[in-house]
Amino acid sequence: MQALRVCCLAILLGLNGIAAAQTTPDAIRIGIIPYLTPSLLLSLFQPLRQHLEKDLGKPVEIFTAPDVPTFARRVHHREFDLVVTAAHQARLAQVEAEYLPIARFSGPLHATVIVSKDSPIKQIGDLKGKRIAVTDRSILVNIAISKIFADSGLREPAIQYLPVNSQNTGILTVARGEADAAIIAHFALDQSPPEQRNAVRSIFRSPELPNVTILLNSRIGANLREQISKSLLNFPQTAEGRKFLEQSKYQDIAPANNEFMKSLDPYLAETRRQLGL
């Protein structure tokens, strides 16, 4: 009888643990990696927020962070219900914080080096001795371009990296002459105001890289997870979704399968090193 009571207690405790782990939040908190300034991010993702809010019948709120390491720590602490982040950091969130990958933007991602429109710089080799605006070094486009630079013999101090908080700040820094070049994702140009976009030009574009990925907090109950996944994958079929994907140059939304996520493993060691995780 004592053994039976212990067994029943263990089952009850297990059920309570499952109930505690599975939640249905009153409002959905979306965390977006700060690759653009907050005002641009909020404006860009507003159609997606409104679409989810309508489909789910509950408030949906957008959050970001002052910098990428802070954002990564908040993801690691599972502060968001839905996360929109760089693919390699999405894999890190899956492996270390039990986030569930559900979708990805399927358009190509290219790491791009830009200079001012009237700059004499024509190619990567011309960057020796130049100032290069760069966002957090853990960002995938920065990891990719840094390797390309190193393979071309460009390492610090032969080049000087100037830290900036966002990619559109990097564009502005180049346009104002405060940096000679900047490393950005190719679509950051299209997502920036025309006056910034028209002040610069690209001198290099990398081979295709994995694009931005969307994850769900595993604490969210299965029914709500299914609702969110369905809503996200249906978004491209709506007029607002098509407009968002065209303006952002993300092109489409596709499921993030296991093969895609595992393909990101080669980036994890450098990502952890850059983030200090």
- Average pLDDT over every residue of 96-105: 96
Percentage of the chain exceeding pLDDT 90: 79
Domain boundary among 205, 227, 252: 205
In what helix (H) or strand (E) does residue 115 lie, and over which residues does it extend?
strand 111-116
Note the pLDDT of residue 274. Answer: 86
Q: For 201-246, how does the pLDDT look when each residue is reduced to its tens digit (9 = 90+)?
A: 999 999 999 999 999 999 999 999 999 999 999 999 999 999 999 9
d(CA 29, CA 221): 15
Is 78 in contact with 220 (CB distance < 8 Å)? no
pLDDT band at residue 22 under the 50/70/90 scheme: low
Position 18 in a domain:
no
Split into its structural domains, the chain has a count of 2
* Pair of tokens at residue 231: 């809503």
The 10s digit of each residue's pLDDT in 44-94 is 999 999 999 999 999 999 999 999 999 999 999 999 999 999 999 999 999
Of the listed ranges 162-171, 189-198, 206-215, the one predicted with least confidence: 189-198
Q: Determine the average pLDDT of the residues in 196-201.
A: 94
Confidence of residue 259 (pLDDT cuts 50, 70, 90): very high
Sequence-distant (6+) residues with CB within 8 A of 60 are 27, 28, 30, 49, 50, 52, 53
* 154 within some domain: yes
The pTM (predicted TM-score) of the whole model is 0.82
Residue 2 lies in a domain: no
Pair (63, 200) in one structural domain: no
Structural domain harbouring 119: 111-205
- How far is the C-alpha of 209 from the C-alpha of 87, rounded, in Å? 9
Q: What is the pLDDT of residues 115-151, one digit of tens each?
A: 999 999 999 999 999 999 999 999 999 999 999 999 9
Q: Is residue 16 a part of any domain in this protein?
A: no
The answer to whether position 8 is within a domain reads: no
* pLDDT above 90 for 277: no
Please, what is the average pLDDT of the chain? 90
